[in-house]
Amino acid sequence: MNIFRFSALGIALLLAACAPKSSSTKSPDADAKPVATVNGQALSSGQFDYFTKNVTGKRASELNADQRGQALDTLVRAEVVAQQGEKEGVDKQSDIVSALAMARLEILEQAVMTNYLKDRKATDAELKAEYDTQVAALPKVQYRTRHILVKSKEEADKIIAQLAKGAKFETLAAAQSLDNSKASGGDLNWLGPANMPKPFADAVAALKKGETTAAPVQTEYGWHVIRLDDTREAPPPTFDVVKAKLEQIVESKKFKTYSDGLLAAAKVVKTP
């Protein structure tokens, strides 16, 4: 099995990230023995390590001989194709120029963020404070609902009329709904508002237990007839479960504050 598979653009961006730039300043591994030379262009061990780490999460030295050979063949092939692209002027095409420029920005921004946060990891106090903030913003209620999804408002109106005459919701759902929930009579189990399309969530919030929407509700999926079966208090996730996510949020906020300062000090001229 070939474990090294990439899109052409992915390879181009990866090579752009690790390719040496024409400059008088040497790269850190400029004097190291190259792992390969392609039409006179050296592929350094640093490039090779960067390549394998992005693909497998391991340095080249941590791969077995077959994997290293496969990885090097893939990198050489990418270099050959990239060189051909340069011959054809592909690297001068506006979309490729823009893609390479964006790759540079993303790589440098990530590197600056990593360097800035290296000694500014989120403290327990910061994580607890962020946890309280996030929990306070969470919906307090979950809903147990059933729905019947159809293509048109006319179909939904007919279903509502049938329900008004005593038809069983679960039977109509099983027979007419386009959603996979038809197998369970339209049951969507417990959901919070954030897990529903907004028009659906708004309609559910306006219902009392046992009520069905008086008019069809349209979402991007089609037209819904909705019944609210029950409600319950939504339990927040425990701190330990979301700790890793909280670390990302806190550190992201720290870096935003830092980059806000850089932006405020920068001379920016926007061209209309």
Domain assignments of the chain as residue spans, ordered by start: 8-105, 136-233
Q: Identify the pLDDT of residue 8.
A: 45
CATH architecture of 136-233: Roll (3.10)
Residue-averaged pLDDT of the chain: 90
Q: Tokens representing 40?
A: 């006179």
The pLDDT confidence band at residue 23, using thresholds 50, 70 and 90, is: very low
Alpha helices, DSSP H, located in the chain: 8-18, 45-56, 65-87, 94-117, 124-137, 153-164, 169-176, 198-205, 239-265
| Predicted pLDDT of residue 45 | 93
**Confidence bin at 81 (pLDDT 50/70/90):** very high
Q: Mean pLDDT, to the nearest integer, of 172-178?
A: 97
Mean pLDDT of 220-234: 97
Q: What percent of the chain has pLDDT over 70?
A: 88
The 10s digit of each residue's pLDDT in 31-72 is: 568 999 999 999 999 999 999 998 899 999 999 999 999 999
Helical packing angle, 124-137 and 239-265, nearest 10°: 100
Read off the pTM.
0.64
